[in-house]
Amino acid sequence: MSSLFTDRALLWVGALLYLAGFLTGLAALTRRQQTSAGLRTLLNSFLVAGWIVQMAGLYVRGTAVGGCPLGNKFEIVQFVAWSAMVLYFFVGPAFRLSVLGLFTAGYAAALSIVSLLVGRWDLVRNAKIFGPNPWIELHAALAVFSYGVFGLLALTSLMHLLQNWSLKHKRLNGLFWFLPSVVQLDQINYRMLALGMLLLTFSLCVGAAWWVRDLASVDLTKLVVTLGVWIVYLTVLVMRWRTWLVSVRFAWVCLVMFIIALLSLGPVNSSRHHEVVLTPER
């Protein structure tokens, strides 16, 4: 059994565990059993198990190239799903009844399963994209992790839109009963955006500190796209800080911005060089 088959098998198991967690939470919602400690424990157990197995799959891929597994779109999307789950483990306790866990489980399962099903995302792999430089590897890992934060921000923004819709239409039963208030969600969105911007800014600073020594190594497409994402998110953060963009409009912008950020992964990944064709045994 090749290491490539092993890591994809692990990533499949991780994705299915995320899906099992999502279905468990969904079943709890329909039965109105969210107050059950046993169900919350079961949901979180699925998520922790999925996160560990997914991390094992990424580790196997990382050891094959001797670095962080960010060599193609498949690995980047998997890493984004993994980082969103990491962040949920830190901020999840702030949400009652693991509602955010339900959303995060569905999000991580969707990203993981789609990336596994779209075979062309994993047909080629960038070889030694970081070389011997740990700083560039840190830059890339922080940048992708910030996308995980923006992904969770998109989820909490969706929760804000759902809660706002429920209040307008006086639908306060089912899922809407267990969502945090729109005021709390707006504050959480603001803090999540600030955290994502902090990580992305630090990532760009680390990369810039190295690239100024070797300007020939800078890929113009990657630089323009990444700076474009950073500038737009920074603009949104400033507008929220100045209260020019709040509540529903802020949530919509955060949701749309994450879709744009995900689309930016395509040109960023295609701008890399030194690709190798993966073996067909997968």
Residue where the block lists tokens 């504050």: 187
Total domains in the chain come to 2
Q: Which two tokens stand for residue 56?
A: 């094992």
Q: State pLDDT tens for residues 185-195.
A: 888 899 889 99
Mean pLDDT of 61-78: 82
Mean pLDDT of 139-154: 86
Domain-terminating residue out of 111, 126, 141: 126
Asked, for residue 87, whether it belongs to a domain, the answer is no
Asked, for residue 90, whether it belongs to a domain, the answer is no
Give the 3-state secondary structure percentages of the chain, helix then strand then coil, rounded to 5: 80, 0, 20
What is the domain extent for residue 197?
Answer: 130-274
Q: Do 110 and 196 lie in a common domain?
A: no
The neighbour count for residue 161, using CB atoms within 10 Å, is 17
Q: Do 179 and 238 lie in a common domain?
A: yes
Q: Do 134 and 122 lie in a common domain?
A: no
Asked, for residue 280, whether it belongs to a domain, the answer is no
Q: Do 110 and 211 lie in a common domain?
A: no
Q: Do 134 and 38 lie in a common domain?
A: no
Q: Do 32 and 58 lie in a common domain?
A: yes
Q: State pLDDT tens for residues 194-237.
A: 999 999 999 888 877 766 666 665 667 777 888 888 999 999 99
Asked, for residue 10, whether it belongs to a domain, the answer is yes
Asked, for residue 140, whether it belongs to a domain, the answer is yes
| Contact yes or no for 245/236 (Cβ under 8 A) | yes
Q: Do 108 and 162 lie in a common domain?
A: no
CB burial string 16-35: b at 16+ within 10 A, e below: bbbbbbbbbbeebbeeeebe
Q: Which two tokens stand for residue 195?
A: 């955290």
Q: State pLDDT tens for residues 239-248.
A: 999 989 888 9
Alpha helix ranges (H) inside 32-172: 37-65, 73-91, 99-117, 134-168
Least confident of 83-97, 166-180, 265-279: 265-279
Q: Do 176 and 235 lie in a common domain?
A: yes
Residues contacting residue 282 through CB under 8 Å, at least 6 positions apart = 4, 5, 8, 122
Asked, for residue 19, whether it belongs to a domain, the answer is yes
Q: Which two tokens stand for residue 7?
A: 């890591």
Stronger pLDDT, 35 or 256, i.e. the higher one: 256
Instruction: Flag whether pLDDT at 95 surpasses 60.
Output: no
Q: Identify the DSSP state of 130.
A: S
Q: Do 111 and 240 lie in a common domain?
A: no
| Contact yes or no for 178/99 (Cβ under 8 A) | yes
